[in-house]
Structure 1
Amino acid sequence: NKAAEKDMDFAMLDSLIGIFCTLEECAAVLNLDADTVVKKVKEKYGIPFSVFFKRKNAHGRASLRRRQFELSKTNPALSIWLGKQYLNQKDHQDIGFGEGTTKINVEYVSDDSKNKSDECISKE
C-alpha cells in the first residue's frame, strides 16, 4: 500500500525491531505515534502489529545467535556460555571428604522439639 509507505520508513522499522527495539522506541525513531506505526503495519501487510513484531524480532534473535556462534569459535568464554545456555552444561565442583578432614554431623532442632525436651527434663 503506497499510502502506508508514504509516511513511514518500513526498512528502518524492520531494522529497529531486529535489534530488539520496542514499539515505543521504533515510533520515537520514526518520529511517529505508536498507534500510527501499528496502523501503518496493518495497512501495508494486513496483519496485526504483534504478529509483524514477532516475525521481525525472531529474525533479530536468529541473527544474534548466528553471530554468537561465529564468535564462539575464537572466544572460549562465549563457547562455554553457549554450552551452558543451550546444552545444559554446568560447572561441577566436587566437594568431598578426603584424608585429614573431619566429618561433622549437624542436626536441626525446631523450637517445638526444644521446648518439649525442656519440659521432659524439668519433669524428671
Structure 2
Amino acid sequence: MARPHKTFDWELVERLAMIQCTKEEIAQALGTSRPTLENRRNKKKFNELYEKGKQVGRMSLRRTQFKKAEDGNVGMLVWLGKQYLGQADKREVDEKSERTVIGETSGLSKSELEVLRKAARHELSERSRTASDN
C-alpha cells in the first residue's frame, strides 16, 4: 500500500518565499525534503507560489528602500543611485572645511535633486548636533 500524499501549508510556502527563504529552508519548515515538496504532484503549485512570494517580497523590500530614501536616509539615497542610476562614488574632501563633495548629479531630475538637498541638509544638521554634543 502506498504512503498517503503529504499535504502542505501553501500559504506558509508563499510567506516564506516572500522573505526570500530558499527551497531547502521552506522544505525544512514544512517538515519534508525538497524533492518531496517538488514532486510531480506538487511541483507546479510549489513553483508558482515560490516565484510569486519571491517577487512580492522583493517589491516590498524595494518599496521600503524607496520610502527610506524619500524620508531622507542618505545611505539609502546613495545606494539606490548606484543601483538604478549608474552613479558611482566620486569623493573629494576639502581639507579646509572638512566637507565631502558629492559628484555627478547631472543625470538627476529636479525632484531627485531636491531629495538629495534635503538629505544633505539633514546630514549637516546631524553633524552640527553631534559636534555640539562633543
One fold, TM greater than 0.5? yes
Normalising by structure 1, we get a TM-score of: 0.59
Match for residue 85 of structure 2?
87
List gaps (5 residues or longer) in structure 2.
Answer: 93-134
2:61 to 64, 87, 105: 64
Match for residue 10 of structure 1?
10
| Amino acid aligned to 1:27 | A
| Amino acid aligned to 1:56 | G
Distance in 1 between the 2:30 and 2:47 partners? 18
Distance in 2 between the 1:15 and 1:50 partners? 13
| Amino acid aligned to 1:90 | A
Match for residue 34 of structure 1?
34
Q: Which runs of 4+ in 1 moved over 4 A?
A: 48-52
Bigger Cα displacement from structure 2, 72-81 vs 47-56: 47-56
Distance in 1 between the 2:13 and 2:44 partners? 15
- Following superposition of structure 1 onto structure 2, how do residues 43-54 of structure 1 map, counting pairs within 5 Å? 43=41, 47=44, 49-50=46-47, 52-54=49-51
Structure that is richer in strand per residue: 2
Report the aligned-residue RMSD.
Answer: 2.8
Q: Across the two proteins, how many residue pairs are aligned to each other?
A: 89
Question: Percent identity among equivalent residues?
Answer: 34
